[in-house]
Structure 1
Amino acid sequence: MAKINFKNEYEKQKATITNLALREARQPVYITFNFSFMTNSNEFNFKNDNLTSDHKDYIFRRLFELSNKDMVSLTANTNKKWGLESLKLKELSNKDKIKQMSLHTKFQDSVRNELSGEKFWVFRLCPNNNPYPTRIIGKMIDDTFYMMFLDLEHELYAKRK
């Protein structure tokens, strides 16, 4: 029986995992966005009747803007108005609607749910809430932001203390 060299196998596998290879090479990692698991609730997805083409234009521009910043800048070194902020469910009141919302079934029933952890990640459509106070709420796995909810009017959770 042939002997397996686990160190060599690990090195081969590591090179195929983009994030590991980039980090080891000290290259910046940038955010990517996934729309596959948006909520089925039309009130908080792209089928919302109040979502205008102007909103959609702002969303595209914001995604482009965020895509040009590395993950460290977005998550650690940035004011929540400009980058991403984490939202821990245990910090929220039971009155907050997001606690009653369910994730898309295909996300909930996959390993992604466990990999993404307990918290949500949020970014603002307009950093100063003008002209739109919209928040985009999702889950993160590595550098992938899974968009879950479009909260057009701050209905899913109240301002935290």
Structure 2
Amino acid sequence: MSINFKEKNKNKDAKNSNISWLDKLRQSSDLRVVWNLSFISQNKKYNLNNPNVNHKKMITKLEEISKHSLVAFANLPRSSGVEFLDPNRVQGKLANMNCPPSFGKLREAAAVNKWFSIRFSDCSRIIGKRIDNTFYVFWIDPNHDLYV
């Protein structure tokens, strides 16, 4: 017995198109935040090799956030250390920085048009972009000098 792949996908597509926006939200509300460090800066001032990075605090913060669903994460108050920055309004070095070239134009187009910033100690931050529930870390800013 063989299965007609096109027919199977056709039924699946028809089924998905009938899902209401509320049901789609409920489905996505279980997505957990995940991290990708593949595109982290090669500049030692803004990567894991910087001696001022408190690795333990950074990993603890990423673990803490990973326990949240994407919806819960997006609604965390700024006081929790999570901030989304409009690239047109940010001041400092970050205003002149772009996604790393290795990130690629397709990923850049798919990414949310805001930087995310996560504080993990007194003045240290992680900065990057988000696509769906994946957060791509580009810079680790242990000296708080990428933006004001």
TM-score (norm 2): 0.79
Counterpart in the other structure of 2:100: 104
Counterpart in the other structure of 2:19: none
Q: Which structure 1 residue ranges, 5 or more long, are not aligned?
A: 15-20
Q: Which structure 2 residue ranges, 5 or more long, are not aligned?
A: 17-22
Q: Does 1:65 align with 2:55?
A: no
The secondary structure found in structure 2 opposite 1:91 is coil
Residues 115-138 of structure 1, C-alpha deviation per residue, up to 9 Å, x if partnerless?
013311111103xx2xxx111111
Letter matched to residue 11 of structure 2: N
TM-score (norm 1): 0.73
Query: Are 1:140 and 1:146, in contact at CA under 8 Å, matched by a contact in 2?
Result: yes
Specify whether residues 7 and 24 from structure 1 end up closer, same or farther in structure 2 by C-alpha distance, changes over 3 A only: farther
The secondary structure found in structure 1 opposite 2:80 is coil
Runs of 4+ in 1 over 6 A off after TM superposition: none
Alignment of 1:137-156 (within 5 A): 137-156=127-146
What RMSD over aligned residues (CA atoms) do the two structures have, in Å? 2.6
Cα deviation for residue 67 of structure 1 reads 0.6
Counterpart in the other structure of 1:56: 55
Query: Are 2:111 and 2:130, in contact at CA under 8 Å, matched by a contact in 1?
Result: yes
